[in-house]
Amino acid sequence: MSTQIFKGFIGGAVVNVPLSDKLGFGKVVAYTLMAPALPFPALVVAYAINGVGIALQANILRQQDAQANGFVASLESHAETKMGVLHAVYGLSLANTVLLIVVFRFKRQDDATADQQCVYTECLREIGQVIPENVSDDNNRFRQILGQKTVHLLAFYILVYVGVEVTIGGWIVTFIIEERNGGPSSGYISAGFFGGLMFGRVALLWVNEKIGERLAIFVYAILAIGLELVVWLVPSLIGNAVAVSIVGVLLGPMYPIAMNHAGRVLPRWILTGSIGWIAGFGQAGSAVLPFMTGAISSKFGIKSLQPLLVSMMGLLIVMWALVPRGPRRAD
């Protein structure tokens, strides 16, 4: 199943650019194939389709699509705060879908006409912002997006981040049960992690502003590594549960900060397509890292989870250090 989702993520990342231009906000449905409990082959196909649908969205299980991230990243005022709130709405899929419909009313973000020979953003235009002039077909836009080194660095950063997030949220329960003798209520530790994730995206906004978003990533990652070492080395069920929740708080702001940074360092007229690729490619981490965890655990046991997470968090620091800090290039 992880392989099917991975293929769907990559496929969705590729098709996001032309679909963003032609269809606007995503309208992909896959769970209807899973609900009727069809034969197993149909379930495999459904997971692949689901991977494509999720790849068109900015973050797994958040129902916030790449166009929404592109829109918020393009805002000139308080983009950091708005991005944090956007990603804090975690798991409220129905409410979030309704809000997206009410706010955007199925409008396309990129609305180009041949007569104008320039690219406008319909939603941004309503609030007085305009995308700078530029004209390109889908193939040219693909080349320009994939020719941006920063796009690939951010994509790999998001891949590692999402992989770490999903791996902790899923495998921590098995770790607690097998290594800390947790009982049936161990699942609440995962809930605490995701609750911390949501809380951190709002509560730490003032820290991001105070010390700067770029430095904040390094601080949060180092603190998260320290707490993972506590989970790894201290055999305390309650202590581990608290540490995992705080790790969620620290990891929470990392994704929206990366999306904000994309809005600062990438040309605006390819921002939506770029974020679509970054998010879609990055979501493959939700399939790759948990799969790696399962493969390694089958040989060395679930105790290998914490060393893997610590090493991946260290890689996060390296990837973030490689992302350019400079402002957006001239449009």
Distance of CA 127 to the CA centre of its chain: 26
DSSP assignment string, 2-71: HHHHHHHHHHHHHHHHHHHHHT-S-----GGGTTTT--HHHHHHHHHHHHHHHHTEEETTTTEEHHHHHH
d(CA 228, CA 242): 11
d(CA 131, CA 74): 9
Looking at residue 130, its pLDDT comes to: 47
Looking at residue 59, its pLDDT comes to: 40
d(CA 303, CA 106): 47
**Widest pairwise Cα distance in the chain:** 68
The ranges assigned to domains in the chain are 146-322
Coil vs helix vs strand at 321: helix
d(CA 203, CA 182): 29
**pLDDT 10s per residue in the chain (331 long)?**
455 445 455 555 555 555 555 544 444 555 566 666 667 677 677 766 666 665 555 443 333 455 666 667 666 666 667 666 766 665 575 666 777 677 666 665 444 443 333 334 555 556 555 454 554 555 677 788 888 888 899 999 999 999 999 999 989 999 999 988 888 888 899 999 999 998 998 899 889 889 998 999 999 999 999 999 999 999 999 999 999 999 999 999 999 899 888 888 888 777 777 888 888 788 788 888 888 998 999 889 999 999 999 999 999 999 999 998 866 544 4
Cβ contacts of 145 within 8 Å, gap of 6 or more: 17, 151, 270, 273, 274, 277
Looking at residue 114, its pLDDT comes to: 37
Looking at residue 238, its pLDDT comes to: 92
Looking at residue 280, its pLDDT comes to: 79
Coil vs helix vs strand at 121: strand
Looking at residue 67, its pLDDT comes to: 60
Closest CA to 274 of 139, 113, 154, 133: 154
* CATH number attached to the domain at 146-322: 1.20.1250.20
